[in-house]
Amino acid sequence: MALHLTLRAAWHCLLAAAVTLLLVCGADPAGAASSKGCEGGGFAVTALADGSTVSPMVPGGDLTTTIPTARLGLSFVVKGKYVEFTVVPNALDITGGSRTMVFASKTPDHRGLALTSAVNVEITGPDLVIERTGPGLGMTLQAKDCANGGIFQMEPERGDGTTTRITHTLADGIFYFDNPNFRAREGDVVPFKATTIAVANRINFASGNNVAAKFVGRDSPQVGTRVDEPGCTNEFPNRAEIGGTDTVQHCGGRSIWDVASGGRMGQIMGEDATEVAPPPTLCTQNCQAQNRVRGQAVVLGFPFPVPDSSRLTPRFATP
C-alpha cells in the first residue's frame, strides 16, 4: 500500500507569558470555588489583521466559528472580562504566519508488495512514529511537530534488500531551485564543528509567497540517491571552470529518489536547510543521532525572492 502524504508547515501558536488577570471583590470567602467567580464572563477575539472582532452576539454567549488565515495577522488578543492573553506565532515560524502546504504527496513504490499489518503509533510530546509491515516489507514514518528543522522522514525496509523508489511532488506555489548562494561559494573551505568542509552546490525548495522570506527546505536522504530526469535538464555556471557549466537534471516540482532498505528520506525546513554540512553517515541499522550539527555549521541562506534563473525547469518532465 502506497502512503500518500500531505504535509503543511503549520502556524504554530503559543500563549504569551504575560497573562493579565482582572480580579474583582466578591462576597464569597477567599479561595472558595463558585460559579459567581465567572459571572458575566465571556471571551472575544480582537486585534485581528483586518481590525475586526469575533465574539458571540450576546456577551457571555456561545459561538463556534473559523477565522480565515488572512484575518489572523501575526498575533491576536483573546479578551475576557476577567482574563486576557495574546496569541503569537512560534518565534521560529518560517511561513509568515500562513498555513502552507509544502508537498502534495510523497509516494513510495513498493513494486507489488503491500503493508497489511495493524498500524503502530507512538506519540511522545512533539514526536510521532508510525510503523506498519507486510510480507517482505516495512515502513516507518517519523515526524516532529516543529516550526522548522528536521520535521519528517520515511524509512522503507524490504526483505529482498533492494531500494525503494520514492517520488516527492511539491504543492502548488512551492518550487525546487539551485541555490545561487552555494554556487557563489562552491569549492570554498568553511568551518564545520572542529574541522572544515568544502561548499558543494545545493538544491533547495522555496515558496513564491512574498510574505514567507524565511520559507526554505530541502530533501535529506540517508543512503539514498536522487534519480536524474533528462526531461528536466538545467545548466548552471561552474565556478571551478571558466566558461564551464554544470548539468542538473532535476524538475522544478518533483524529485525522485532510490532509498536503500533501512535508509531514510527526510525533510528539513528553515535555516538548517541552507547550512554547509556533510551528508548523513551511511547507516541502515541501529542508526544513532550522530549527524546533529547543533549550530556548528556555516549557514549560507538563499536569496528571496529566488531569481527565475535559479529555478529548476520545467516543473514536470513530459512523459
What are the residue ranges spanned by the domains of the chain?
23-81, 96-310
Q: How much is the pLDDT for 294? A: 62
d(CA 67, CA 312): 36
Task: Say what the pLDDT of residue 288 is.
Answer: 53
**pLDDT tens column, 262-317:** 999 999 999 999 999 988 777 766 665 445 666 689 999 999 999 999 999 999 99
Q: What is the pLDDT of residue 28?
A: 44
pLDDT number for residue 197: 95
**What is the rounded CA–CA span in Å between residue 257 and residue 218?**
13
Q: What is the pLDDT at residue 12?
A: 35
- Kindly tell me the burial class for residue 248, based on how many C-beta atoms sit within 10 Å of its own C-beta (0-12, 13-18, 19 or more): middle
Distance CA 172, CA 196 (A): 38
The single residue listed with the C-alpha cell 557563489 is 184
Query: What is the reported pLDDT for 308?
Result: 96
Overall pTM > 0.85: no
Spell out the residues 6+ positions from residue 188 whose beta carbon is closer than 8 angstroms to its own. 198, 199
Spatial separation of the C-alpha atoms in residues 114 and 110, rounded to whole Å = 7
Residue 38 C-alpha cell reads as 465567572
Q: What is the pLDDT along the chain (319 residues), one digit of tens a residue?
A: 333 343 444 333 333 323 333 333 333 444 555 567 678 888 888 877 788 888 888 877 888 888 877 777 777 888 888 778 777 778 788 887 777 889 999 999 999 999 999 999 999 988 999 999 999 999 999 999 888 899 999 999 999 999 999 999 999 999 999 999 999 999 999 999 889 999 999 999 999 877 789 999 999 999 999 999 999 999 999 987 777 899 999 999 999 999 999 999 999 999 999 999 988 777 766 665 445 666 689 999 999 999 999 999 999 998 7
Q: What is the pLDDT of residue 291?
A: 56
Q: What is the pLDDT of residue 78?
A: 83
